[in-house]
Structure 1
Amino acid sequence: MTRFAILLGGELTVTARLRGQIAGARLIAADSGMMHAAALGVVPELWVGDFDSAGSELAVQYRDVPRETFPAEKDATDGAIAVAEAIRRGASELLLLGGLGGQSDHTVGLLGQSLGLARQGVACFLSSGTEEAWPLIPGRLRVELPAETRLSVVPFSDLAGLSLAGVKWPLANRDVALGSTLTLSNVALGPVEIVLRAGHGIAIAYPPLAPDE
C-alpha cells in the first residue's frame, strides 16, 4: 500500500499521534500547506498550487522542492490537485492534513471528496491533529482510537444497517436517518469497529491530547 500525506493550508496541531500516523508516508504540499512542513520535520517531494497564499519566506525556504504551478482561476482547489497528483503517483491511501475546521465550505467539500475517494477504493483519513475524520461507505472500518475519545458518526445520507462496537453506547444493525443526532458524541473504549450496510457518512473523532501537547 502506497501512503501519501497531503499538507493543506488549514490549522494543524502537531502531536505525537499525528507524527506516528504520517510515518513512512510520501508527502505533497498544496500551496500554503507547505507551512506545516517545518513543524512536522518533513520535506515534501512536490509542491502544487497557484501559490496565491504561500508567502515568499516559504518560497525561499523550500526553493529546492519541485513545483507544479496552476492558474488562480481554475476548476479545482489546490488540495484536489495535490490529491490527484498523489493518485497519479500510485497512492492507495491518503492522509489529508490541515483540512478540518476553518471555512465550512472547504471543510464540507473536503469531506465529500473523501467519500468520493473511498468509493474509488482509495483509503482516506483527515486530521487537524486534534480532530480526525474517516469516510464511511458500505463495508467494515476499524479505527484505532485511545480510550475516552469522543466519536460521532454523521450521516451524509440515510444509513442502513449501522453497527458500532468498542464504544460506550454500541449499535447493532440500526437504521439512522439523514439529519439524525442518534450517533453524535459517543465514547470510544479503545479500537472501534464500524459496519455499514448501505448509505454514506463521516466518522469524526477527538482523541485526547497528551498532558504536554
Structure 2
Amino acid sequence: MSRYTILLGGGLVRTPALDRQIAGTRVIAADSGIRHAETLGIVPELWVGDFDSAPPALPERLKAVPKRQFPSDKDSTDGELAVDIALEQGATALVLAGAFGGPRADHSFLHMALALRLAEKGIDALLTSGTQEGRPLLHAEAVFGYGDGTLFSILGFSELSGLTVRGAKWPLDGVSVPFGSSLTMSNEVRGQLSVKLGQGRALLLAHPLTGKEV
C-alpha cells in the first residue's frame, strides 16, 4: 500500500492520533496547506498550486521544497491537483489533512465529496482536522475504533436506505433517511461502533477528542 498525506488549506490541530495516521506517509502540500508542515514537523516532497494563498514567511527548509506551479485560471482546486498527483504516483490510501474549516466552506464540501469519489474507486481516504475525522461509508459494514462517548454524525449526500448503526447511543436498524434529514446527526459511540449502508452516499464525521481513548 502506498500512503500519502495531502496538506490542505483548512484548520489543523496536531494530535497523537494524527501523528500516527501520517507516520510513514509521503507528503504533498497544496498551496496554503504548506503551513501545516511546520505544525506537524514534516517536510513535504512536493508543493503544488497556483500559490495565490502561499504563506508569506516560511522557514528555509520549506522554501526549498520542490514546486509544481499551475495557472490561476484552472479547472481544479489546488487540493484536487495534489490528490491527482498522488494518484499518478501510485497512491492507494490518502490522509487529507486540513480538510475542514478555513475561510472556504466550498472547499470543505469539495473535500468531503472528493473523499467519497475516491472511496468508490477503491482508494482509502481519511479527512481530518485533528479534532474531526471524516470517513466515507460504502455499501458494506464498516467497524470503527472510536472510544465510548465519541460524538459522531452520518452526513448523507443523497437519500439513504438500509442504514444500520450499532454500538451507538441511538442505534438504527435498516432505516431510510431522506436527503437533508437531521436524523443521523449528533450520536454517541457506545461500545464497538459499526455502520452498514444499503444504498446512497454518506460520510461518517467523528469528533475523536470527545470520547475515551481506545
C-alpha distance in structure 2 between counterparts of 1:142 and 1:71, whole Å: 42
Say yes or no: does 1:5 pair with 2:5. yes
Contact 2:48 2:81 in 1 (8 A): yes
Could you tell me how far apart the structure 1 residues matched to 2:71 and 2:59 are?
17
Q: Which residue of 2 aligns with 1:159?
A: 160
Instruction: Describe how 1:56-135 pairs up with structure 2 within 5 A.
Output: 56-58=56-58, 60-102=60-102, 103-135=104-136
Aligned-pair CA distance for 1:179: 1.4
Does the 8 A contact of 2:150 with 2:189 survive in 1? yes
**Counterpart-to-counterpart distance in 1, 2:198 and 2:210:** 33
* C-alpha contact (below 8 Å) 2:167/2:193 kept by paired residues: yes
Tell me, in whole angstroms, the C-alpha distance in 1 between the residues paired with 2:200 and 2:52: 38
Number of matched pairs = 210
Q: Deviations over 1:154-181 (max 9, x none)?
A: 1111111111122122112111111111
Shift of 1:55: 2.8
Distance of 1:8 and 1:54 partners within structure 2: 12
Distance 2:125 2:203 in 1: 11
Once residues 175 and 56 of structure 1 are traced to their aligned partners in structure 2, the CA distance between those partners, rounded to angstroms, is 49
2:207 and 2:62 mapped to 1: Cα distance? Answer: 32
Residues 98-119 of structure 1, C-alpha deviations (whole Å, 9 max, x = no match): 1212322111111111111111
Q: Which runs of 4+ in 1 moved over 6 A?
A: none
Matched residue of 1:111: which SS? helix
Match of 1:203 in 2: 204
Cα offset, 1:209, TM superposition: 5.9
TM-score (norm 2): 0.92
Q: CA deviation at 1:59?
A: 7.4
Cα distance per residue 1:30-61 (max 9 Å; x no partner): 01111011111111111111111113422744
User: 1:140 maps to what in 2?
Assistant: 141
Task: Report the RMSD for the aligned CA atoms in angstroms.
Answer: 1.6
Distance 1:197 1:104 in 2: 29
Seen in structure 2, the aligned counterparts of structure 1 residues 96 and 195 have a Cα distance that, compared at 3 Å, is same
In the alignment, structure 1 segments of 5+ residues that lack a partner are none
Q: Distance in 2 between matches of 1:93 and 1:141?
A: 16
> Percent identity, aligned pairs only?
45
Look up the equivalent residue of 1:123 and give its one-letter code: D
Q: Secondary structure at the match of 1:62?
A: helix
Aligned to 1:185: 186
- Render the CA deviation track for 1:87-137: whole Å, top value 9, x for unaligned: 111111111011212322111111111111111111111011111111223
**3-state SS in 1 of match to 2:10:** coil
The question of whether the paired residues in 2 share the 8 Å contact of 1:8 and 1:32 is answered with yes
Do the aligned partners of 2:43 and 2:61 also contact (CA within 8 Å) in 1? no
